[in-house]
Amino acid sequence: MPIEITMPRLSDTMEAGTVIKWNVKEGDSVKSGSVVADIETDKATMEMQCFDDGRMAAILVQPGTQVKVGTPIAIVALEGEDVAKVKAGGAKGGAAAPAAPAAKPAPVAAPVAAAPAPAPTPVVQTATRHGMEGFPVESDEGPRMRVSPVARRMAEDNGIDINAVKGTGPGGRVIKRDVEQAIENKSSAKTAATSISPAQALAVSTSGVPTASAPLALSMPGRDVALTGMRQTIARRLVESKTTIPHYQVTMKFDMDRLIEMRANYNEKLKSSGVKLSVNDFLVRACALAMAEHPYFNASFAGDHVRIHEVVNIGVAISLPEEKGGGLVVGVIKDADHKSLRQISADTKNLAEKARTKGLSVQDMSDATFTISNLGMFGVEHFTAIINPPNSAILACGAAVQQPVVRDGQLVVGTQMQATLSLDHRVIDGAMAAQYLASLKEFIEEPETLVV
């Protein structure tokens, strides 16, 4: 019988996925293990494999469509099955429904209005919330306001909170003209917001700072760019990190001359093997060894205790090309303190290549205990990074730059790099940060210690 391919759950937090592109067309042969589509999850763009041999009978979801996990997205006809019949059978079920950002409750039909009585007796309501329209209904939530059916329908259609509308009808009843006035007031407020000047915009919130509920609105023309699922996840996690973790930063400079000289010598000797070490490979190794000496840098805050991990896993931030949705993913080098520079280099290159082509798997991005973000390759000399939960620290590395330095009382030209730790103050205090950076400085400035 035909095989139904559904949207897979490709990460532990994935609720919906977007088909970026299909690598096969309807009628094409497919084999078990072949990559049939690229799927964007909430973390990365990943490849989706087929697990059966046959032909692609029907593609139910077009590229760019987001659907919930478990939704049918394609049908495969097995060997010997009629592709046309399988496709026709699949078409009867209809295409997969796109994932809705937020389900809205269906509007409840308004009860038929009764003529208002001179002195209506309140109806006591217990199990239900429906009374006769136009009369107050007593319930455990208090009296229900009086609204005409037409007014209620107009309010629902125009997004007006009927409870905020003051009624001018008999007995304070909300009638059509009250809702019309509310709609006009809402339109006027929206027009005023779009014409607000940048100086006036600072008065939007009582604190003088624009808020999510009262964003800045400018009258200049522009265009909206939809966030990908991964960009939405990045935005959500970064806001969560900055608002729930007490960040602080500590910066130190490192002399890089000896490390750079060692790297050049090693790369010359390893050229025939196709190995080329990067400065980042040395930094990963140095951070891992320093973490082994300072266990709280390999820990997570867990409410009423701190969890110190037994394995040192270094996360490396990898930038993605725009065709993969842009943004950053964090590939994880496992057991980094037990790996050589050559192993770290190979792991890093494999993760970066996979991230920019196939997409990283959940295992590739899981269980980092510390993260390194390196913008030095782009010429950035100094920056701070946001902690990647549940880590307690992230190291932001700048470029190694030649500059005047004082050594033994003499002004000379030296190569230095600035690195800034962002730290979770619930786990790591300032003295601990200084001790860790001192150990890191020793490993970097005496790079022979990284190979023994």
Model confidence pLDDT, tens digit, residues 57-74? 889 988 888 888 889 999
At 209 the three-state DSSP class reads coil
Closest CA to 85 of 4, 29, 22, 2: 2
- Which residues does the chain have with pLDDT short of 70? 12, 43, 90-145, 188-218, 325
- Helix, strand or coil for residue 75? strand
pLDDT of residue 255: 96
We report the CATH number of the domain holding residue 300 as 3.30.559.10
Tokens representing 59 are 């593609």
Q: Quick check: is 45 in a domain?
A: yes
- Residue 110 placed within a domain: no
Q: Would you state the pLDDT for residue 179?
A: 85
Q: What is the pLDDT of residue 325?
A: 67
For the chain, how far is it from start to end, CA to CA, in angstroms? 60
Two tokens, residue 126: 């217990």
Whether residue 209 lies inside any domain: the answer is: no
CA distances from 151 to 166, 174, 261, 324, 367 (A): 12, 7, 79, 48, 55
Task: Judge whether 197 lies within some domain.
Answer: no
The count of C-alpha atoms lying within 13 angstroms of the C-alpha of 206, restricted to the half-sphere facing its C-beta, is: 0
**What pLDDT is recorded for position 410?**
92
Q: What is the pLDDT of residue 109?
A: 42
Do residues 252 and 385 share a domain?
Answer: yes
Based on the fold, state whether residues 255 and 305 are members of the same structural domain.
yes
43: containing domain: 3-92
Q: Can you give the pLDDT at residue 267? A: 96
Are both 84 and 139 inside the same structural domain? no
Tokens of 167: 């009624």
Regarding whether 171 and 61 lie in a shared domain, the answer is no
> What CATH number corresponds to the domain at position 174?
4.10.320.10
Catalytic residue among 247, 309, 382, 425: 425
419 and 370 in one domain? yes
Domain membership flag for residue 204: no
Residues 162 and 252 in one domain: no
Return the pLDDT at 181: 87
User: Contact at 8 Å (CB) between 162 and 150?
Assistant: no
Q: Rounded distance, CA 94 to CA 98, Å?
A: 12
Residues 323 and 393 in one domain: yes
State residue 120's pLDDT score.
Answer: 44
**pLDDT at 91 (0 to 100):** 52
Can you give the pTM of this predicted structure?
A: 0.60
DSSP designation for 413: E
Model confidence pLDDT, tens digit, residues 155-200: 888 888 888 888 887 778 888 888 888 888 877 666 555 554 444 4
- How far lies 419's CA from each of 8, 341, 437, in Å? 40, 20, 9
The total domain count for the chain is: 3
Catalytic residue status for 309: no
